[in-house]
Amino acid sequence: MHKYQLKPLERGGRHIIRATAKFLVKQYVSNNWIRRCYIWTKDLSAKIVMPVFPLLHELLFQKLTLYLRKQYLYRDRSSHIPISTSLYPTAAPIAANFSPKVSVIVFSYNQAEFLRQRLNSIYQQTFTNFEVILLDGGSTDGSKDILEEYQYRYPQVTRYAFYEKNSVTMGQWSRAFTMARGDLIWIAESDSYCSYNFLAELVRCFINEAVMLAFGLSVCGDSRFAKSMHNSKEHSQKLHFELGPDPFVISAHRLVNKAWFIKTNLPRISSTVFRHPRKLELLNNKNWQRMTICRDWMLYLHLIRGGLVAYSPHATNYIPLYQNDVEENACRTDFYYQEHEQVAKALTSLYRLEVDVVIRQRRILKSLWLASRMDCSEESFKKCYDYERIQKNAAEHKPNILMASFALTAGGGETFPIKLANILKAAGYGITFLNCHKAPTEAGIRQMLHPSIPLLELDTLSKLGSAVDDMGIELVHSHHSWVDVCVSYFLENSPHIHLVVTTHGIYEMTPPAVLAQIFPLLKKRVNKFVYLTDKNLPVFMSHQFDLGSFVKIGNALDIIPITPVPRQTLGVPEDAFLICLVSRAIPEKGWGEAIEIVKLARKISKKNIHLLLIGTGPEYERLRFIVEDNFVHLIGFRGNVRDYFATSDLGFLPSRYPAESFPLVLIECLLSNRPILASNLGEIENMISTSKGHAGMVFDLNNWTIPISHVASLIVKYVENTNLYLDHLQKVPEAAAKFDPVTLFKKYESVYLELIKNGSTSLSETTVHPN
């Protein structure tokens, strides 16, 4: 018979075996009399059969029992998890300059027997952009000498830390993560080894910036790795999660709901490479540090949240055989179930779970408890694993949010969603960042996004509806009119996905004919509009929008350390009066006028006034080739603008941009403890106002043109009147205090939670019975 003809027979055979297993094990776990008979028969066999036919006794009471139990435990799992290759391509082209640095962390404690093979498999990797961090917890078997030998052989890429006592604890993980300088982390356990292409195969997965973790094939052998026994494909089949022969990419949401809610298919963490989270509170969690069975699993759940997971069968990790005995023994202990309760609580708080996921996990664990322990009472099980405790924890779930941005480029409407995403991530939200890529990505802007936040880029937004469902997104937050319309269109038939729009003032500039086309869709689909200033509202009022769906929230930024840039590196004298203008380099932001204003102010005051222009765009490209004045410094894009404001005397925003509403750069200036001179547009005057006056000055435009002579005279006042300057400088802290990131977070959180509360059902609200 052909292979394809055997498939139905195989499936039918499996069904019969599982049905038989279900009947036998169910009888065992539910009937005390049958359980006592089994124990009596087993004891009798141990006395009579085992001395004569030991293999028969082992077959009946160990191997067959274990096999039936596993068939029963995983009976309700789907046999295949569909992988969304069309959503997340696995064959993305690799750029020639794509070579992220990998931090390889090796924890060692009395593993001298395996160390050389482990270290050779690291240092001989075909992918070479890595560093190795060797950590030893006070080994007494010669491991320390081996580690020092390899540090001496590879000094350029190796760092080594030795601890006097056995401290290979989870606290050491936190120290190692702090030491790691790479973009990716590989924890290469000292009793394992791998193929030489391990990093080359897994690193390529991270060309997709939404991939948070990649793993390879794990092969388990005997303690000398001389004989391959089985691999992670077989391990996955026990989960009914088939890895298959090809690489794939799958969303964390789908993976968790279909397989990882009961256990992972990763027998060891050394088979994974993951993005450096930089700061992960879990590493300092005492409960997590005490875990022995579910520790790695819990770490994965935090690392992959909101992102994707990749698999490559071409990268192989070899692990010792004794790994397989650990869980079999642990399931007889209380802490095995206690740790699974902690995992269940993490699942309910981190992920949007299908209704019956925790119910299924509980049923599997309860069956395992009954099959492996003599104390089978419900009370004893609930002490270790209690569904009601997990239910209560579900109330802590924070929605998974897709932050949608026009592009990773300079501009308030582009950088604010990044700042907000970072704030929400730090507060415990699941964040995925969508880059619609409508402008070239600027590296400095890309770096603003926290590395623990997955960056999703779809080849077409027509896949958006499928992607948000596949990734478990509950709310989409858009920040640009083009994105607002696209998201509304592609999610028009997905009312379960909440949509929030922050206007950023762009609709006031949109032609009426365009508004007439797009407003009916936005009115129908957007659940909540956030506006920055009152001038944003009239355009919506004129089109009969329900103002009950609008809420006013001003901008704010996080507080970061500031290190003023030394003036000598800019070519600016220490005694000069330095003015700093930061913005997109477009004509409407007044770069050309700023140069004329400073030139005139220098002429009037006879003072040494310098102008610092920071940003990129057409004006930067135009001016950098024609400006010859040595008091003008065009330095392009800078991510650390507060360091430049701090080295300056005055911020400057001579804008004639019609959509100017609540400029972030003004907040950057105030947070750098500097007053500002700006156009009187949007909320600018209110932004610099305090109870004692203004922390700077504003000027009105003359028919949307900048009054050059008037603004130059205002600069002269600052230069010549020290008391005026110091008075405004003293008012800056009060003005800056209004832009509190905590207040911003609470206001946006209230918007999100109101929508989620009114439109969803959580685990704690379900009526499914746990039994």
The three-state secondary structure class of 565 is coil
pLDDT band at 684 (very low <50, low <70, confident <90, very high): very high
The pLDDT score that the predictor gives to residue 573 is 97
The pLDDT score that the predictor gives to residue 96 is 77
pLDDT band at 768 (very low <50, low <70, confident <90, very high): very low
Section 33-44 average pLDDT = 72
pLDDT band at 78 (very low <50, low <70, confident <90, very high): very low
Query: What's 316's domain CATH number?
Result: 3.90.550.10
The pLDDT score that the predictor gives to residue 182 is 96
The pLDDT score that the predictor gives to residue 437 is 93
61 alpha carbon, distance to own chain's centre = 46
Residue 524 scores a pLDDT above 50: yes
Let me know if residue 771 belongs to a domain.
no
* Structure token digits, residue 768: 């499914």
Let me know if residue 335 belongs to a domain.
no
* Structure token digits, residue 150: 């390899």
Residue 448 scores a pLDDT above 50: yes
Tell whether 583 and 719 lie within a shared domain: yes
Let me know if residue 235 belongs to a domain.
yes
The three-state secondary structure class of 218 is strand
The pLDDT score that the predictor gives to residue 222 is 46
Last residue of a domain, one of 303, 330, 357: 330
Q: Are 209 and 454 in contact (CB under 8 A)?
A: yes
Let me know if residue 80 belongs to a domain.
no
Q: Are 202 and 316 in contact (CB under 8 A)?
A: no
Query: What's 456's domain CATH number?
Result: 3.40.50.2000
Residue 58 scores a pLDDT above 80: no
* Structure token digits, residue 444: 């400095």
Residue 336 scores a pLDDT above 50: yes
Range in 67-81, 390-404, 496-510, 690-704 with the lowest mean pLDDT: 67-81
Burial class (CB within 10 angstroms; exposed 0-12, middle 13-18, buried 19+) of 93: exposed
Domain that holds residue 727: 567-736
Q: Are 675 and 650 in contact (CB under 8 A)?
A: yes
Tell whether 579 and 523 lie within a shared domain: no
Section 7-29 average pLDDT = 56
Section 370-397 average pLDDT = 84
Instruction: Measure the CA–CA gap between 709 and 597, rounded to whole angstroms.
Output: 7
Tell whether 136 and 215 lie within a shared domain: yes
Name the nearest CA neighbour of 297 among 266, 330, 338, 258: 266
The residue type found at 262 is I
The residue type found at 638 is R
Section 257-267 average pLDDT = 84
pLDDT band at 13 (very low <50, low <70, confident <90, very high): low
The residue type found at 270 is S
Name the nearest CA neighbour of 84 among 327, 254, 304, 333: 254
Give the HSE-up count for residue 759: Cα atoms under 13 Å, Cβ half-sphere: 16
Residue 693 scores a pLDDT above 50: yes
Residue 239 scores a pLDDT above 60: no
Tell whether 637 and 726 lie within a shared domain: yes
pLDDT band at 170 (very low <50, low <70, confident <90, very high): low
The pLDDT score that the predictor gives to residue 589 is 97
pLDDT band at 130 (very low <50, low <70, confident <90, very high): very high
Instruction: Measure the CA–CA gap between 457 and 482, rounded to whole angstroms.
Output: 16
* Structure token digits, residue 41: 């028969």
Let me know if residue 577 belongs to a domain.
yes
Let me know if residue 348 belongs to a domain.
no
Mean pLDDT of the chain: 87
Residues 6 or more apart whose CB falls under 8 angstroms from that of 738 comprise 554, 687
- Please identify which residue in the block is written with the tokens 């685990």: 763
The pLDDT score that the predictor gives to residue 56 is 77
pLDDT band at 377 (very low <50, low <70, confident <90, very high): confident
The pLDDT score that the predictor gives to residue 354 is 86
Strand pairing category for 696-699 and 676-679: parallel
Tell whether 247 and 108 lie within a shared domain: yes
Tell whether 551 and 594 lie within a shared domain: no
What pLDDT digit, counting tens, does each position of 472-499 carry? 999 999 999 999 999 999 999 899 999 9
Tell whether 542 and 663 lie within a shared domain: no
Burial class (CB within 10 angstroms; exposed 0-12, middle 13-18, buried 19+) of 738: middle
End-to-end C-alpha distance for the chain, whole angstroms:
44
The pLDDT score that the predictor gives to residue 47 is 79
Which residue has better confidence, 365 or 632?
632
The pLDDT score that the predictor gives to residue 46 is 77
Residue 67 scores a pLDDT above 80: no
- Please identify which residue in the block is written with the tokens 């769906």: 549
Residue 761 scores a pLDDT above 50: no
The residue type found at 593 is E
Residue 685 scores a pLDDT above 50: yes
Q: Are 312 and 202 in contact (CB under 8 A)?
A: yes
Tell whether 495 and 593 lie within a shared domain: no
pLDDT band at 325 (very low <50, low <70, confident <90, very high): low
The pLDDT score that the predictor gives to residue 241 is 59
Domain count, the chain: 4
